[in-house]
Structure 1
């Protein structure tokens, strides 16, 4: 089984508010808090992940 290759989000800040994403596994995208790498990860289908990212890009920023 392949291991996830984690990448830190380009939107992460220097205050420790970081999200890491692994998209190298077939049929799944994993998302975790970089401060807790052994903790739980959210699991998305690639389609659901694309939909979420698209929605977030369109959301207004306060």
Structure 2
């Protein structure tokens, strides 16, 4: 009986460890995605700025 109890506790500890590892990976991935989101927004802003300037330039030349 004691051996079964030790075995079950060991399995629970392994599962908890795997869950912690998974949460660390997910947390890291979330941070990376947030950084990518910031870069995309900056890039989007630059594209909009270029389009605006091109449109402005076209209107001035007409």
State the structure with more CA Rg.
2
Structure with greater proportional strand content: 1
Q: TM-score, normalised by structure 2?
A: 0.28
Structure with greater proportional helix content: 2
